[in-house]
Amino acid sequence: MTTVLTPPGGRVRTDRPGTPRRRRPPLITGAATLLVLLFTLLGPLVAPHSPTAQLAAPFQQPDGHFLLGTDVLGRDVASRVLAGGRTIVLTALAGTAAAGAVGTAVGVMAALVSRRLGDLLLRCVDALAVLPGLLVVLVLAAGFPGSRAAVVAAVALATAPFSTRVLRAAADTVIGSGYVEAALARGDGRWAVLRHDVLPNIAGPALMDTALRLVASLHLTATAGFLGLGPGGAAPDWGRMVSENAPGATLAAAPFLAPALLLVLLSVCVGLLAGRLADWAGRGAA
């Protein structure tokens, strides 16, 4: 047992020589994020009214029948808030999953091939990365009006280049540490090396990158809704709710503030979880 001396008033910690400190996963932050995500996904099941039906006068104040009042068209704000988060979350998750799949495939491929060919692949990816994400969303959503798949594809294209670079660097580290050389020396095929030696060792960086890209995907998806892109009509969407109720914010604040605050809460929770995951993995690597 080794004793580490600390300044007066500090804590004295004893560690066994060679024993790494135990890493604690971000349980509290993860639980808070999970609760927010469950609220957005299960909210439509507990909505008290139809989120698309006109039930009263526009911008009616909250009362016993309408907990958050009514919006610009007389629809129940509470029902639309409960139903409006699912679209944003599912679209952002789909875009993040697509970006992660593309980033992993291209990043690992760029690490496994020759250095010159890998750099060429990254140059092609960089050509896409210089485009502003919002511009990509605007072009695709305008080209396919009313299509949620177009928003998903735009989110994936806007975030995949950054995932590609992160995962290429992670795969380079694994390949350079001797895993691949040892596996090939014992006669393993390239597919077996990729599946058993490369992919498991880049799972941590891939998880952190996914959490970070999810934050960007949420921002882009909410912005698309705010601009009226994607499925139109009366479908509830937090971003669109902020836009359509902003002119009447002085008459009734809830239709405008409720979706805006929930968007902020969702982004903050996911962002905090991404930061905690990065800190957790960083301490483990130290």
One digit per residue, the tens of pLDDT, for the chain of length 286 reads 444 444 444 444 444 444 445 556 567 777 877 888 888 888 889 889 889 889 999 999 998 889 999 999 999 999 999 998 888 899 999 999 999 999 999 988 888 888 888 888 888 888 888 888 888 888 887 788 878 888 899 999 989 998 898 898 888 888 877 767 777 777 777 777 778 778 888 887 888 888 888 888 988 898 888 888 877 667 888 988 998 898 888 889 999 999 999 888 888 888 787 777 666 655 555 5
d(CA 86, CA 237): 8
d(CA 244, CA 142): 19
pLDDT for res 82: 92
Q: Each residue of 10-22: pLDDT tens digit? A: 444 444 444 445 5
Can you give the pTM of this predicted structure? 0.79
